[in-house]
Structure 1
């Protein structure tokens, strides 16, 4: 009987499960289910935790059936999850609220207080946690409840992420891995414990937060009410708590060694590097999250970088609202315009911005519009603007971590060779596509392989990562883009 490892990815758009066979390197089963995001008020973004749990059970059931049909045994399961969610639970573990997502902006005021009115406290919290101060983080969301529903804040037995909710449903324990904890703004990432001044600002008591554990922490399935294919499939498997989707996407993209930068562009986007020590930017513009902490300093891994709110959603806006055309037609038309869009610039801040501005209120604009500019110019300038913003984050990141030698790229944008080539030309380095866009689930599998001793290090684990096409930069186009980028940077707020 062959053994396999499951990678579970609890995202914002979907929940996914992959079954990986380590000896052959093959994915032998796969299942996915879509999730629904609720917007009860402007700026609010929530999901029903019980709906997420039901969808997850469904994909686990499907994969366990497929694995059983192939006469395989599930050896271990590793978990990846979207960061920054928060929900209240009662003493019985039942949700008192929906899961409030990273994209929820209700806590703009609380983030602004830490950045301005209580700037010293804000700087201290950033230096301790490595989490930029923004409405997305639980620290600010819970401070919002402190002002708007103090009774609920105090009444809740616990405030947990959706990953903690799922982990408790499976194992009966309230635990949070170091990676997810560092993304809350409440966790001292060097001491590996909750930070009291951050808890105080959020209005939390120490007993309301989960036990922090390493990303390689293992447990067993205790829930016996699951469908029989799941209980039978996971009966002898170890469950590894894993890490956050951002960190595991870097691992799943094969970006562990120096000089490799990962860029993911889905609806939103992120640029990340993996380093051996925590990073702190003097203006609090970069995140620094734990991936894996080894026994020696040189075995510690931290994922550092910056997220953007504006990725493929900009292309969607251009296609649906600006041109009212299909995406493929829009991209083809943009290719008819020269690099630099004949001096037209676009600041791509359609939904506020995280890195590098960390300003939820900033908005986008076209600059230098003149008579010669047609529809194709507006499309190309928008695509270039998304990449220029990412380049600005990369330049900030490189000052701390060294220059980028190659980019490992994934996400929905990778389906457009035109946009990927534009990235290579703008950044001036080769862009290598990952073979799979399921980098979070693959990263969970690779971290689990290290935890089980199947590989000796995370560098070793990345040898299992597959790649597709590599796009080389064009020298002339890169030279042109360097000039355009200087104008872009001067135009930023």
Structure 2
């Protein structure tokens, strides 16, 4: 039994799946949690050595399970979270922790590019397809330029956590086009680092990794892995893969026209797969490379917008507002009609990325009156999360055409009530993915393409499974259309 491993290096967990192409089944699975450090307000970091240790733990477990089934590993594909960055010395030793997308220390630098240096900011967005926000490495590097110039210059490399892991495994400093396009430093049309962005960031070309396609292959050379892993993975080929957002779209089966993917975990994202890079005239949408094939010109880009405010809003409602269990909160919300009797919630508890791209914006309840009770406040909060995603979808649809069906995944999909609310608000069917491990599955599907086991990413869609489909309620949708107009008018 030959297997393909899909590894997903997220910000909350490291996961690995073993997939059997002949049967189409997942035959092994492992996951380990990661710790996020907050040394100062607004900071979010991870210890790269902990990420490496958790990676070896999940690989060891999956290799053990595959071995018990008398299987072998043919290939490994990688998915990783976007926007992280750390400094390394000439021995590959970290000089900083990995700074995560949720780190807001560079809010001033992002504002500078959006306002004081708006012309430069527009140029960078047009070339890179990366919205200007504290999440992106470009702004984080500019923060080091202003606050620790000595470290910025003396570091041998500035790399993502994925590049750090890839170097540990293969000995090569390489970055896939997908992760690179999320940095704000990479010209996605030329497939090369963008000199204007590098000059603004204050770094040299030699401090960055070699950009390579998402199907790029490497060989395991690490002597730091346990023998159980090296025995399992030799002579398997390692494929560098892509970013978690792009691969989540692939793993969700969202390749065709009219298919929109919505993922709601702690945060959330709405995405479409297209075959050319897109730019929004106000810089509100990202456009990242999933896969480019210069031989066939069959290229895939993932466009959309991420939100800071997803299931964390439900967590806030449960823990801070009502001090109740999540299941009880969700049940209580169902006692209130669609539209929460005109109570509105702007869900910006942790600033916002799309559609506002304002790290300083904050949330609020609007139109509160005597009739509103606790259940109203809960339901309005859930509706607010979806209204914000609908706002992004409307911007996205202007560029890509209307949404015909939503493929939904993430932790929110465990609540049938919240999923039905999505169908009612968007007015289209919402189809749940069979598995919530869309990043790992996407890494596997891209690896199938890289190995030639499938002829195209479209062909790989036959491996994607689905669960229940939720149809919109016409009367609820009519009500929500009215409420959404007031939500949109209330946006900052």
Fold similarity call, TM over 0.5: yes
**1:297 Cα deviation (Å)?**
6.7
Q: What do residues 371-396 of structure 1 show as CA deviations (whole Å, max 9, x unaligned)?
A: 00000000000000000000000000
Q: What do residues 222-250 of structure 1 show as CA deviations (whole Å, max 9, x unaligned)?
A: 01231111001111100000000000000
What is aligned with 2:272?
Answer: 273
CA contact (8 A) 1:276 1:298 kept: no
What is aligned with 2:416?
Answer: 417
Q: What do residues 159-191 of structure 1 show as CA deviations (whole Å, max 9, x unaligned)?
A: 000000000000000000000000000000000
Q: What do residues 37-90 of structure 1 show as CA deviations (whole Å, max 9, x unaligned)?
A: 000000000000001000100110111111111111100000000000000000
Separation in 1, partners of 2:294, 2:175? 20
Separation in 1, partners of 2:225, 2:107? 40
What is aligned with 2:161?
Answer: 162
CA contact (8 A) 1:276 1:297 kept: no
Separation in 1, partners of 2:462, 2:136? 33
Separation in 2, partners of 1:290, 1:374? 46
Poorly superposed stretches of 4+, deviation over 2 Å: 295-298
What is aligned with 1:373?
Answer: 372
What is aligned with 1:288?
Answer: 287
What is aligned with 1:359?
Answer: 358
What is aligned with 1:264?
Answer: 263
Q: TM-score normalized by structure 1? A: 0.99
What is aligned with 1:142?
Answer: 141
Separation in 2, partners of 1:120, 1:297? 36
Separation in 2, partners of 1:298, 1:469? 35
Separation in 2, partners of 1:86, 1:191? 22
Separation in 2, partners of 1:67, 1:227? 16
Separation in 1, partners of 2:224, 2:337? 60
**1:199 Cα deviation (Å)?**
0.4
**1:409 Cα deviation (Å)?**
0.1
Separation in 2, partners of 1:351, 1:296? 43
1:244 lines up with 2:243 in the alignment: yes
Matches within 5 A, 1:294-309: 294-295=293-294, 299-309=298-308
What is aligned with 2:11?
Answer: 12
What is aligned with 2:111?
Answer: 112
Q: What do residues 132-183 of structure 1 show as CA deviations (whole Å, max 9, x unaligned)?
A: 0000000000000000000000010000000000000000000000000000
Separation in 1, partners of 2:103, 2:438? 24
Separation in 2, partners of 1:398, 1:471? 21
Separation in 2, partners of 1:211, 1:30? 31
1:204 lines up with 2:203 in the alignment: yes
After superposition, the Cα gap between the structure-2 partners of 1:127 and 1:297, relative to the gap in structure 1 and judged at 3 Å, is: farther
What is aligned with 2:454?
Answer: 455
Separation in 2, partners of 1:374, 1:472? 29
Q: What do residues 350-370 of structure 1 show as CA deviations (whole Å, max 9, x unaligned)?
A: 000000000000000000000
Please give the secondary structure, in 2, of the residue aligned with 1:68: helix
- Output the aligned Cα RMSD: 0.6
Separation in 2, partners of 1:492, 1:29? 45
What is aligned with 2:319?
Answer: 320
CA contact (8 A) 1:413 1:419 kept: yes
What is aligned with 1:393?
Answer: 392
**1:298 Cα deviation (Å)?**
5.5
Separation in 2, partners of 1:387, 1:90? 44
Separation in 1, partners of 2:170, 2:397? 41
Please give the secondary structure, in 2, of the residue aligned with 1:117: coil
Please give the secondary structure, in 1, of the residue aligned with 2:115: helix
Separation in 2, partners of 1:246, 1:478? 28
1:69 lines up with 2:68 in the alignment: yes
CA contact (8 A) 1:433 1:470 kept: yes
Please give the secondary structure, in 2, of the residue aligned with 1:282: coil
**1:462 Cα deviation (Å)?**
1.2
Q: Structure 1, unaligned stretches of length 5 or more?
A: none
Separation in 2, partners of 1:305, 1:288? 7
**1:296 Cα deviation (Å)?**
5.6
Q: What do residues 313-366 of structure 1 show as CA deviations (whole Å, max 9, x unaligned)?
A: 000000000000000000000000000000000000000000000000000000
**1:402 Cα deviation (Å)?**
0.2
What is aligned with 1:470?
Answer: 469
What is aligned with 2:35?
Answer: 36
Please give the secondary structure, in 1, of the residue aligned with 2:144: helix
Separation in 2, partners of 1:480, 1:116? 38
**1:295 Cα deviation (Å)?**
3.0
Matches within 5 A, 1:42-61: 42-61=41-60
Separation in 1, partners of 2:115, 2:476? 41
Q: What do residues 13-39 of structure 1 show as CA deviations (whole Å, max 9, x unaligned)?
A: 000000000000111110000000000
Separation in 1, partners of 2:91, 2:242? 26
Q: Structure 2, unaligned stretches of length 5 or more?
A: none
CA contact (8 A) 1:176 1:210 kept: yes
Please give the secondary structure, in 1, of the residue aligned with 2:184: coil
What is aligned with 2:178?
Answer: 179
Please give the secondary structure, in 1, of the residue aligned with 2:436: coil
Please give the secondary structure, in 2, of the residue aligned with 1:38: coil
Please give the secondary structure, in 1, of the residue aligned with 2:121: helix
Please give the secondary structure, in 2, of the residue aligned with 1:37: coil
